[in-house]
A = this chain, B = another copy of it.
Amino acid sequence: MADYDERNHERSCCPIACALDHLGDKWTLLIIRDLLLGKKRYQEFLESPEQIATNILANRLKKLEAAGLLTQQVYQKKPIRYEYVLTAKGEDLRMVLQTLAEWGRTYYPGTKVFTAHV
């Protein structure tokens, strides 16, 4: 499984660098956003307007679980299917995403925050 390895990256002892080791790409935080908005299932993530590719989604879900940001929960056996739910660590990114969304709204006019459908 060369596609997903779990080393300790830790480029430095800076909390921002550590955070970016796990979150620093174009897709990971969008999945967290979806989870914070109440999405739970593979298909729901695929339906987001950014159109993530299936292999990247599968890869990020694994990495997020390995990083302790979410857990899988079985919602059906035969065939086994999972829902993805945020851990406290993942939930605590809500403020980060809110602040980032605020910045984005300010500097990219025309963008709109999606609201939770819960």
Which residues on A are within 8 Å of B, measured CB to CB? Answer: 11-21, 24-27, 29-30, 33, 48-51, 68, 89, 92-93, 95-97, 99-108, 110-114
Contact = CB atoms under 8 A, between A and B. Distances in A.
B30 A113 contact: no
Contacts of A13: 49, 110-112
B96 A14 contact: no
B14 A114 contact: yes
A19 B96 CA distance: 12
A19 B97 CA distance: 10
Nearest to A48: B12
Contacts of A103: 15, 19, 92-93, 95-96
A49 B11 contact: yes
Given A93-B103, A99-B96, A111 B14 contact: yes
Contact of A49 (B12, B15, B92): B12
B18 A111 contact: yes
Contacts of A114: 14
Contacts of A24: 24-27, 29
List 10 tightest A-B contacts by C-beta distance, closest first. A15-B104, A15-B111, A12-B49, A24-B26, A19-B104, A18-B108, A11-B50, A15-B105, A99-B99, A96-B99
